Structure formats: C-alpha cells, structure tokens
C-alpha cells in the first residue's frame, strides 16, 4: 500500500523544475514534507518550509544552540558531598550528623565518580559518619511527564530526569524512581570500602538543613555532554540539561522548555516547546525557522561547536545512513514523524550548508529513505544561487 501511495503522489514531470531542484521536487512529490536549504541568509530551495511540525529529537538541536549561547563549551556541572554547616559538624575525622550527596544537573554521574568522591572523603581524613548518607531530591522538580507525551514514555523512552543522576537512572533495563536513594546507597558502600565507618543507613530527602561542601566533583565539559546527548539522541541527557537550563524558572521540564522557546523567540522565531527531548507531539517548529537558527549559529562564536555535537553519516542515530556523505545532522523520530536538520557539505559550494527536512502524518521509516535521497542530491548536485 505504501509503494502504491508513493507512485500516486509523484508530480507531473512537465511541471517539475529542471536540474537539482527538479530532482528534489520529484523526490518529495506531494508528500507532507517541509524542506529548507540555504546559506549566508539566502534560501536555495524551499518546499512547505513554513509549516509547523513536531520536530521530534530535532528539539535537542534547538536545546544545544540555546545552551551554547548561554554557557561556555567548557562549562562543568558540579556534584557535592556535603555536611551541615558549622565549625563543629566535622571534628577529629568524625561527621557529627548526616552526609549529603547533592547533584546539580550532571546527567552522567556513575560508579567511577562516586568512587573518586569516596577517595576524596577518605583523603580528607574523615573516618566516621555518625548519621546517614542522604541523596538530595532537589533542586529540580521531580516531574516525569510533559504535554504531548504518550503514557508509556516514562517506562520505555526516558528515565526520570533528576539533578542527581546515577548510571543513567536505569538499572537492569528498568528506570529507577528514586535514583538519589540508589546513589546514596552505592556511595555508602564505597565509603565503607575505604574504611569510612557509616553508622547510619541511606535515605533520600528534599528538605535539607544549611549545608557546606567538603568534596566537589564535576561533569565532563558541556560540549561533551551535548555530544553524548545528540549522537545517540539521549532523552535523559536532554531533559536533565533542560531542567538545568530552566533552574532559574523552577527546574521543571516545563521551565526548561519555556526557557528554550524564550531563546528562540529572541532570535525572531515562533516555535512551541513542551520539553527538551522532543518526545512531545505538542512541540512545533518549521524547517525554515530551523535553518534561520542555524544561520545565526554560524555567525556566533559557538556555531562550529554546535556542528561538532551532531552525528556524521554512519555514526550514532545515523549509523546505518548516509555513509560516504559529509554531514552533521540531528535525527528525529516519533510514530509518523521524522526530521533531519543540520549541515551537509555541498561540493559545488565547497562549504557546509544548513538544511532542515521535516515530515508528519507520514510513515517515519519511509520518510528516512526520502530524507537520505534529498541529502545526497544536496551534497552532490546542489548549486548556490547565481
């Protein structure tokens, strides 16, 4: 049935434009695709480019641009081991109270980080904790849903986005409801393996007393976090970084989405943002709007950094696609939604050229074949305007 439908919507050959633009016309046909291509502020080709469609994980490309416009590529996000404030809370190597593990938005805390933190605690001369090891449930909100998500998404596609993460907030193939408690339990075990005697148990709490940090470890540079978000299209990375970005507005999924769309509005575009991952069917973006944002990125000092975070052909979510084509682009996939936006190296221009391809209400697997055909035409046959 799909093949028959594809044949039926091909345009009349007599109406198609000549050259590479005509090739794109024939590839797209009458299908619900939006395409925008252009460089240096000028469009080379457009087809339904102003139609608002769900960008799926192209939303992560928008998040990447907003974050790099606000933060240095080398920015690192801390995680702290903390004790109650006061000169008498740590005396002669004894913590007189609870030991807190507090995250601030690093999506990649793992066993190696907690082992290094336990080493640092022991090296600081601490030999006993009289209270519990507690994972802090703040400063983010604990929301785990957004408008436009399907009910099963938290079970299948995204772990809970928390300020203190641990091992991707996933254990045994299942998403962990309280990763902060899990992290505290593992941290306690690592402390005891270093002869730090923990007299209490483990817990997770949101309300906390005034604290001070005794050990701080930091995330990888932001540019690396973004690369590990975009290449495999990590929904957890996206929503944790979205909440981090939206912390000034409350640290929720909605706050992160609002801040990203606020940045987009300041660039002169009107999109709709419900999340940072692109899982929401309620998100809306246009192909020409995305291309205009890519033009602005090219003029910014961080433009090349954005491109470096995206998968190339044969890599990540493009691992079985566009091998042999010089491309840096973000994929996006939901049921009957597909998108591909970024840069393709155009031979005739001898340069990277921004593009965006979006489709909705159309089989997403077939859409990817069409996207790849479009990109190959752009790479090998497209010509800049005379």
- Domain positions in the chain are 2-73+224-381, 78-137+178-219
C-beta separation of 379 from 325 below 8 A: yes
Residues 348-358 pLDDT 10s: 999 999 999 99
Q: CA-CA-CA-CA torsion for 382, 383, 384, 386, nearest 10 degrees? A: -150
Q: What is the pLDDT of residue 229?
A: 98
Nearest CA to 3 out of 29, 23, 24 is that of 29
From residue 97, alpha-carbon distances to 129, 183, 199, 200, 205 in Å are: 7, 19, 10, 9, 15
Q: What is the pLDDT of residue 109?
A: 98
C-beta separation of 141 from 210 below 8 A: no
Q: What is the pLDDT of residue 200?
A: 96
Which CATH number is 2-73+224-381's, of 3.40.190.10, 3.40.710.10, 3.10.180.10, 3.60.21.10?
3.40.710.10
Q: What is the pLDDT of residue 15?
A: 55
Its CATH architecture, for the domain 78-137+178-219, is: 3-Layer(bba) Sandwich (3.50)
Q: What is the pLDDT of residue 50?
A: 97
From residue 352, alpha-carbon distances to 11, 75, 335, 355 in Å are: 30, 27, 30, 10
Q: Tokens 């994929």 correspond to what residue?
A: 331
Kindly report whether the peptide bond that precedes residue 139 is cis, defined as omega within 30 degrees of 0: yes
Q: What is the pLDDT of residue 3?
A: 39
Residues 26-84 pLDDT 10s: 999 989 999 999 998 999 999 999 999 999 999 999 999 999 999 999 999 999 999 99
Nearest CA to 88 out of 79, 80, 97, 100 is that of 97
**Which pair of tokens denotes residue 165?**
């993460």
Whole-number percent of the chain with pLDDT over 70 = 96
The pTM assigned to this predicted structure is: 0.93
**Which pair of tokens denotes residue 195?**
């002869």
Residues 325-378 pLDDT 10s: 999 999 999 999 999 999 999 999 999 999 999 999 999 999 999 999 999 999
Q: What is the pLDDT of residue 263?
A: 98
Output the tens digit of pLDDT for each of the chain's 386 residues: 343 344 334 444 445 678 999 999 999 998 999 999 999 899 999 999 999 999 999 999 999 999 999 999 999 999 999 999 987 899 999 999 999 999 999 999 999 999 999 999 999 999 999 999 999 999 999 999 999 999 999 999 999 999 999 999 999 999 999 999 999 999 999 999 999 999 999 999 999 999 999 999 999 999 999 999 999 999 999 999 999 999 999 999 999 999 999 999 999 999 999 999 999 999 999 999 999 999 999 999 999 999 999 999 999 999 999 999 999 999 999 999 999 999 999 999 999 999 999 999 999 999 999 999 999 999 999 999 97
- Measure the CA–CA gap between 365 and 320, rounded to whole angstroms: 13
Q: What is the pLDDT of residue 16?
A: 61
C-beta separation of 259 from 249 below 8 A: yes
């Amino acid at each position: 049935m799909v093949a028959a439908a594809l044949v039926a919507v091909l345009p009349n050959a007599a109406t198609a434009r000549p050259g590479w633009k005509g090739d794109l016309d024939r590839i797209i046909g009458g299908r619900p695709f939006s395409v925008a291509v252009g460089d240096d502020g000028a469009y080379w080709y457009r087809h339904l480019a102003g139609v608002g469609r769900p960008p799926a994980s192209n939303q992560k490309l928008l998040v990447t641009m907003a974050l790099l416009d606000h933060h240095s590529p080398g920015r690192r996000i801390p995680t702290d081991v903390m004790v109650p404030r006061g000169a008498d809370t740590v005396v002669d190597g004894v913590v007189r109270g609870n030991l807190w593990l507090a995250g601030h938005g690093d999506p990649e805390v793992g066993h190696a980080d907690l082992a290094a933190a336990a080493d640092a605690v022991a090296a600081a001369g601490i030999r006993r904790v009289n209270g519990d090891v507690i994972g802090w449930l703040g400063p983010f909100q604990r929301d785990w849903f957004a408008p436009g998500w399907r009910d099963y998404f938290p079970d299948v596609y995204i772990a809970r986005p928390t300020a203190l993460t641990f091992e991707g907030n996933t254990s045994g193939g299942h998403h962990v409801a309280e990763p902060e408690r899990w992290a505290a339990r593992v941290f306690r075990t690592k402390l005891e393996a270093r002869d730090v005697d923990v007299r209490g148990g483990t817990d997770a709490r949101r309300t906390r007393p005034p604290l001070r940090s005794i050990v701080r470890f930091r995330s990888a540079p932001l540019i690396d976090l973004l690369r590990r978000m975009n290449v495999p299209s990590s929904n957890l990375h996206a929503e944790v970084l979205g909440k981090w970005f939206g912390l000034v507005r409350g640290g929720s999924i909605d706050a992160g989405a609002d801040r990203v769309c606020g940045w987009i509005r300041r660039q002169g575009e009107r999109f709709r943002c419900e999340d940072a991952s692109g899982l929401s069917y309620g998100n809306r973006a246009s192909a020409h709007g995305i291309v205009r944002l890519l033009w602005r990125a090219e003029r910014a000092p961080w433009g090349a950094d954005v491109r470096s975070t995206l998968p190339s052909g044969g890599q990540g979510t493009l691992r079985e696609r566009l091998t042999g084509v010089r491309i840096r682009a973000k994929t996006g996939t939901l049921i009957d939604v597909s998108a591909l936006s970024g840069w393709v190296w155009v031979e005739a221009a001898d340069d990277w050229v921004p593009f965006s391809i979006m489709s909705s209400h159309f089989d997403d697997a077939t859409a990817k074949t069409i996207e790849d055909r479009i990109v190959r035409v752009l790479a090998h046959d497209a010509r800049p305007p005379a």
